[in-house]
Amino acid sequence: MMFEFRCIRRSVFSRLVPVCAVCALVLLSVMFFWGQAARAIEVDIGRVPPVEVYFSPNNGATEAIVREINQARAEIRVQAYSFTSAPIAEALLNAHNRGIKVEVILDKSQKTQKYSSSTFLMNAHIPTYIDARHAIAHNKIIIIDQSVVITGSFNFTKAAEDKNAENLLIIRSKELAKPYLDNWRRHRDHSAV
């Protein structure tokens, strides 16, 4: 009986060792590849955070906007109350010249304001609309590739960067970009060229 028990124990043990070895290899492989994937995700998130926050004066909001415009691949939609920033206007022109679809909606005050980017954009043949339906079209929004939303109190002006206390958010979210884009389209539909 003792002999039979030892044989059974050896038989079970001899079958269990290879199974455990295979399981251990599979587990180690999964842990290795999961670790690699997690590190890749961390690097990616570290490189491109889902939300960036800027405060002015002099915190780099204009530079961040220009960077995002320069990374656009298909389209840029802008809504602006006050728009006199030469770097942002130039970045939009460069994007337009790269074949990016650029469209801008401005408040009616931009038609008559001295140093407005309205004339610059129109002369560059960038579709520019004037939203005169509201007392003030006070939006400050840029939607890039239907996946990045730039918004906040930050007007697209030199004063907003250099003098004013403003805030700017860059949000990478297709889900959030959708209602902003829908709203942009509603305003474009009642705006004049």
CA pair distance 184, 128, nearest whole angstrom: 13
Active site residues: 138, 140, 145
Q: Locate the DSSP E strands across the chain.
A: 51-56, 75-80, 101-107, 128-131, 141-144, 148-152, 166-172
Q: What angle do CA 114, 110, 152 make, to 5 degrees?
A: 115
How far apart, in whole angstroms, are the C-alpha atoms of residue 96 and residue 75?
9
Beta strands in 41-100 (DSSP E): 51-56, 75-80
Buried b (16+ CB within 10 A) or exposed e, 42-71: eeeeeeeeeebebebeebebbebbbebbee
Which 3 state secondary structure label does DSSP give 113?
coil
Determine the straight-line distance between the first and last CA of the chain, rounded to whole angstroms: 98
